[in-house]
Amino acid sequence: MAVPRAADRGPDRMAALEQYRRRADGYDRELAVFEPIRTDAIAKLELRPNDRVLDVGCGTGLSFGLLHSRIGKGGRIIGVEQCPEMIAKAQARVEARHWHNVDLVCAPAATARVPLKADAALFHFTHDVLREPQAIANMLSHLKPGARVVASGLQWAPPWLAPTNVFVLMAAMYSATSLEGLSQPWDRLTAYLHDVQVQTALVGGIYIASGQLRG
């Protein structure tokens, strides 16, 4: 287990890479409990047939099936993931389902190059990415004006909900390298978005934030 650093310090990209290399084999099982959150987050993207969608920190491609069902064969999914072991599993998923409209980019979100402008972007359980300004700026630069952006993941619940915050702490220690910004993990997106809406789940320990990219 990689323990996050002090709450006021940002993420460590290399530590995150090693963390997800260790998690790759069991990742799909670990995320199973959060699948209803994934479903809700993808619904908020309001995807239409033939849309192009950016899946930031795509991991093993767990979101691809839901995304593909909404955009159809005429759309496109671009998965960005810095961990080679995770993206290898994503590639195996794509090949097993014979999807021909999925592109995978193995690079950090801060430097990844995407060869198109997308209609939407998903940041699902990507706390470290959302706390790195360069990563946010780079990913959003590959979106069309007005694109839908949805982020979901862990957050601190109100302080009187101690059991929820114990769960959030343990999950964050396992999945992120920093606790910085865990009170409002989406706040650095708001400079780029308008009409931002945030809903919570798991007694306040989970958020789904959505909005539209400014023109």
Would you state the pLDDT for residue 8? 57
Average pLDDT of the chain is 93
Listing DSSP states for the chain in one string gives -PPPB-TTS---HHHHHHHHHHHGGGHHHHTGGGHHHHHHHHHTT---TT-EEEEET-TTTTTHHHHHHHH-TTSEEEEEES-HHHHHHHHHHHHHTT-SSEEEEES-TTT---SS-EEEEEEES-HHHHT-HHHHHHHHTTEEEEEEEEEEEE-PPPTT-HHHHHHHHHHHHHH-SB-TTTTSTTGGGTTTEEEEEEEEETTTTEEEEEEEE--
pLDDT in tens, 120-176: 999 999 999 999 999 999 999 999 999 999 999 999 999 999 999 999 999 999 899
Would you state the pLDDT for residue 1? 42
Would you state the pLDDT for residue 7? 53
Q: How many CB atoms lie within 10 A of CB 150?
A: 23
Q: Which among 117, 125, 123 has a CA at the least distance from the CA of 146?
A: 117
pTM of the model: 0.94
pLDDT in tens, 51-78: 999 999 999 999 999 999 999 999 999 9
Q: Which among 52, 56, 46 has a CA at the least distance from the CA of 140?
A: 56
Domains annotated on the chain, with CATH: 13-213 (3.40.50.150)
